[in-house]
Structure 1
C-alpha cells in the first residue's frame, strides 16, 4: 500500500498516465461534466472535501505549468481568487462559458464538494526536467 502522495487508486493511476500539456480539472460540485470526460467524484457532502484541500494535494503530486480560471472568480469569490494567485503558475482567464467548453478537452475532472462560486481550475501538466 502507498505511504505518501495520492492514495486514491483511481487518481494515482490517472496521474501516472499524464504527460506534458495534458489538462485536468479540479471542480466544485456544481460544474457540469461534459459527456465523455471521466469524472472522479470525491464529494461526500456539501463542502467536503473542499476545493482547496484537493487542489493542494494535486499540486503536491503533479508538475503544473499553467492554470486557467473563470474571470468571474475575481468578483464572485475574491478570497479564493487571492489564494489561487499566490499558489498557481501562469494563470490565464476566460469567461465561465468558455471555461466550461474548455473542460471538454480535459483528460479527467476531479469533482470536490466545494460550494463556493467559480471554484474551478484547469491545470496544464508540465515536465519534471
Structure 2
C-alpha cells in the first residue's frame, strides 16, 4: 500500500503518465464528458468531494504549469476563481476562454476527474509542467 500522496490508483496512474503540456480536467458534477476521454468519477453525493478538495489533492502530486478556466467563472463563481488564483497565481491562471471553448478544449485532456461539486463553473484544466529546469 502507498504510504502517502494520491491513494486513488486511477488518478495516481494518470499523474505518473503525464508529460509536459499534457492536461487533465477537474470537473463539477454537471460538466459534460467528451466521448473518448476517460472519466474518473470520485463524486459521492452532491457537493462531495468538492472542487477545491480535489484541486488541492491533485496539486500535491502534480506540477501545474497553467490553469485554464472558463471566463464565466468571474461572475458565476468568484469564490472558485479566487481559490484557483491564490493556489496557482495570476500568471498561471487563464480565464480567456468562453465556457463553450473550455468544453471544446476538454476533448484533448488525458482524463476528466468528476467531483461532486454543485456550484457553477467549478471546472479547470490543469496543464502539466516539469520538475526540472
Question: TM-score per shorter chain, which class?
Answer: over 0.9
Q: Provide the residue aligned with 2:109 in structure 1.
A: 106
SS at match of 1:124: strand
Q: Tell me the distance in 2 between the aligned counterparts of 1:83 and 1:14.
A: 24
Structure 1: gaps (5+ residues): none
Alignment partner of 1:61 is 2:64: no
Q: Which residue of 1 aligns with 2:93?
A: 91
Which whole-Å CA distance do the structure 2 matches of 1:84 and 1:103 have between them? 18
Partner secondary structure for residue 20 of structure 1: coil
Q: TM-score, normalised by structure 1?
A: 0.98
Measure the CA separation in 2 of the matches of 1:7 and 1:76.
32
If the length of structure 2 is used for normalisation, what is the TM-score? 0.95
Q: Which of 96, 110, 125 is 2:128 aligned to?
A: 125
Instruction: Work out the number of aligned pairs and report it.
Output: 129
Structure 1 residue runs of 4 or more that deviate by more than 6 Å after TM superposition? none
Matches within 5 A, 1:14-53: 14-53=14-53
